[in-house]
């Protein structure tokens, strides 16, 4: 069983326990013919990376490949969960990938662009208000 299938079956990250969780995961696909590099990573102190889903500065996202990134917090009722990963290597400015699951039930991925790239996203099945999942596609701007 894959890690994503395990998360779907368990209804959230299996690496932590607690009285309710709030989390967000993104599967990021590089659909351009250029290697992108993680330039910076940021998350609030009250959020933790899901085991095995922490993006690392200077890691590469190769063309036509994907990576899964995720953050969570054990207090589902009082805490917003979010993270931002800046991708560099194609275009004159970084491409920010900000993903979030807020305590008010709003979750998503900010649409972002630089001079040549854009990101689009769509929800993936298996998520709910406490555990949101998205597919993020990086592609050339039209």
pLDDT along the chain (142 residues), means of 10: 43 38 93 97 89 96 97 78 96 96 92 96 86 96 89
Q: Would you say 61 and 97 are in contact if contact means Cβ atoms under 8 Å apart?
A: no
Which residues are bridge partners to 121 per DSSP?
Answer: 136
Closest by Cα among 36, 37, 22 to 105: 22
In this prediction, residue 75 carries a pLDDT of 67
pLDDT for the residue numbered 77: 64
Query: What are the structure tokens assigned to 97, written together?
Result: 């990938």
Q: Output the six-digit token pair for 47.
A: 């959020």
- Beta-carbon contacts of 94 under 8 Å, excluding residues fewer than 6 positions away, are 39, 40, 86, 87, 88, 114
């Amino acid at each position: 069983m894959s890690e994503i299938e395990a998360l779907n079956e368990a209804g959230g990250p299996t690496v932590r326990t607690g009285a309710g969780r709030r989390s967000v995961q993104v599967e990021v696909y590089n659909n351009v013919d250029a290697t992108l590099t993680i330039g910076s990573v940021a998350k609030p102190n009250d959020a933790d990376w899901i085991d095995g889903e922490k993006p690392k500065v200077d890691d590469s996202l190769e063309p036509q490949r994907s990576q899964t990134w995720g953050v969570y917090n054990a207090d589902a009722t009082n805490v917003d969960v979010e993270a931002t990963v800046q991708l560099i290597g194609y275009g004159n400015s970084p491409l920010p990938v900000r993903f979030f699951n807020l305590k008010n039930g709003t979750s998503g991925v900010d649409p972002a662009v630089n001079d040549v790239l854009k990101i689009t996203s769509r929800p993936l099945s298996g998520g709910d208000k406490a555990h949101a999942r998205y597919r993020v596609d990086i592609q050339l701007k039209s």
